[in-house]
Structure 1
Amino acid sequence: METIQKNLTELSDQIKKHHLDGEVSYKSDHSNMIRAGRSQISLNVTETRELYSIELYKNKKMITGSAINKNEASAMIDDLSKKIDHMPEISFLTPIEPLNGTNKKNDHFDPSLENINSQIMVDIYKKADELFIKKDKHNHISGSFSSGSYSYGIINTKTKEPLYHKGSDFNGEIVVQINSHDKKEIQKLMVGETMNDLDLNFQELENLYEYTTTTPYKKLSEGKYDVILSAEAMGELCAYFLWISSGESKEYGQSYLNDQRKVGDQLFGKNFTIADAPSTHPLFKRPFGQNGFRHTDRHLLKNGVLVDLTYADKMTCDRFNKKMNSCSQGEYNLMVEGGTGPNDQSAMIKSCKTPTIFINFLHYLNFTNTTKAEITGTSRFGTFLIENGKVTHNLEKVRLLDNFFNLFNNIEWLSSKVVNISATNSYGFRSPFGISVPQYVKINNVSLS
């Protein structure tokens, strides 16, 4: 930690010696990965990397570069300082301002995740394999488990002290392929910040196995259905919803927000509230974002009313004459407020007196039209028909094709229990994103095919 902060300070001082303004940011990760396939470990690797990013400013001119270590970053600053005069002017560019984030010790960092004993991960899959092979020798176990650490820091020439944060995380999945039943698959996800968060309870996975193997198959016809989403499925929808609800998306015309739909408007049901809540969220608390902006509690939607628009990118703020007011969305501690609905799987099933579709996971989500908030995705790892309080059929994968206005204005209930799921992007540097979501959410009149 001290070395990185010292490096950032020295690089910032170097920029000042060139009589320029500028910013230097740093990020690194250390990752351990195991993959399992056909009940065997197929991959076991460790990777470490780091990156310095440099931005230099001179009046209305700007130039950027990156380097993989401090020495290269220093040489890059000298080189860029010679080239900045040849860059074109950016008419809307504004001067950089002091960073307003603050350093805070991370009490949840778990060094054991940084250099985890791979046998621990192997044993997780061994336990699952033994459990489901007993049920049927033709079953296969697959999945992946990733653990490690991430860190980032930032300083600019208007700020005396660098900001620095380091965290740990793990995320994993266990997939059971039920070969005797048309190779249907069910899945369990794991997410946490320390090894104490690791949950190896397989009861819900066993329940899904029973529903898949003891109920008849049925193909669903296209239409409108009452649907119950698991926390994982609802969390995925909320992560996509967040993206088209930002100030940046609005300014670039990639959002459902416009002159008719704006801050202060009642856009969704009164039982739907989303907040960025770093003070109370149980996972991945960051005191500031990678842009150096402080991370504080804020409502994004409250009782269906759009409360705020967030801006995290300086260039976008300059272009549209806005003020930066947030860290980036992937660093939020997103919480969807719970309701009064059932919390456990058995109670959820018994609550369904009319035909209801249970969707355990949503995959391949994408927008069909961001300006209309239209989204599509496919169910996976367990889709079932519930009738008269019982699971009566396992279903073929169904496709959701609807819009957020319909979905979030037709929420019948949300579980009172809120659980943590991972919406982490697996591309690029390690940067965990956890969402706290009600255990189950019932939404009526959902378009499925």
Structure 2
Amino acid sequence: MSQAAVTPEKPVDTNFDPATVDLKGFDIAVPEYFSQQKHWALFDRMRKEDPVHFAESPEFGPYWSITRYSDIVAVDTNHKQFSSEPAIVLPDPEEDFNVKMFIAMDQPKHDVQRKVVSPAVAPPALADLEDLIRERVGKVLDSLPVGETFNWVDLVSIEITTQMLATLFDFPFEQRRKLTWWSDVTTAGPDGGDTGLNDEERRAELRECLETFAGLWAERANQPPKNDFISLMAHNPAMQGMEPMELLGNLMLLIVGGNDTTRNSMSGGVLALNQFPAEYDKLRNDLSLIPNMVSEIIRWRTPLAYMRRTALEDVELGGKTIKKGDKLAMWYVSGNRDEEAIDRPYEFLIDRPNARKHLAFGFGIHRCMGNRMAELQIRILWEEIMKRFDFVEVVGEPAYTKSVFVHGITDLPVRVHPKK
């Protein structure tokens, strides 16, 4: 996952019309297309004109783009023909810095390692955490500077998710922003992405992450078992003897999984309600819509744009022959705008029927392990927002993550208007 957001070394020409650009061989895996919001129109055309699309990327090599909802589900649930190894992102693993994680493993090892950490986000654990989450969310919202413009991403989305991450890892609470930083480093490319780090600096940061957690592992291994991620791993035989790069990989997976989906949905929901004010009115009049709205927010934002698979044999898909060893990108962000599967997909509808029928969490054995945790945090956030504020108003243009993998928001200027 560490090369997920690779930024091309040379400036990319984005001065083109998505409606007329030649799609033959077109490489959509360019971060600037996403940060400049050109990807929507490009994916619309790809779904209609070439839904199983081949491209040669100068950064990632040859790969197939799977853009329609039905094809994505077909690939995501077919573990016999499509493998998660050696990576779930388009770049191949770095030979001299090859991290391994269970999301990029096939059965049976995937299932064994996933089962070790899943109790931390299982329904009984969520029930125990709900009051704590609500208390923390309330404190964050009560601390916001009323009457001033501020970045919702930083003061709310990152702060809430990072507090929860610290709890899930039982990480030193006062150092919790390190988790956000390591998540950003993980999903940035060798030449910097949004972090400004070069390749060696990025690796140094990830080594610090590994060293920090190795110390916590040693402590937990000599303490009674608890329900945090590190203790669960340290006390389970299935996780013993992991090489450092495998431990680092699983740490990176859990940090990113617990961070990007939730924080970008927390920001995306505010943006969507401002873009669709009638839905904000609908919410004010019926707070019982919040749980359904949470699913619609996650579909609308689709916080991780794609996942990669690798063909284990020759496969026919959408009239194309995908050869054994070929890479495929399942573009969740495209499938969640597919008119053939989702009615009025470009509209944000908080009372959408079957709102949970989205692609953002994936399908099959690799479906997002923490999906219920993400939904819980976003639900509580909006319940607490609606107690305090009549309007969270977006007052400037959002800035988007320069990334192919993380479909994120980096800056969202807002003002909050308390209830009278």
Same-fold status (TM-score > 0.5): no
Range into which the TM-score falls when normalised by the shorter chain: under 0.3
Q: Which has the higher helix share?
A: 2
Higher Cα Rg, which structure: 1
If the length of structure 2 is used for normalisation, what is the TM-score? 0.24
Higher relative contact order (CA 8 A, sep 6+): 2
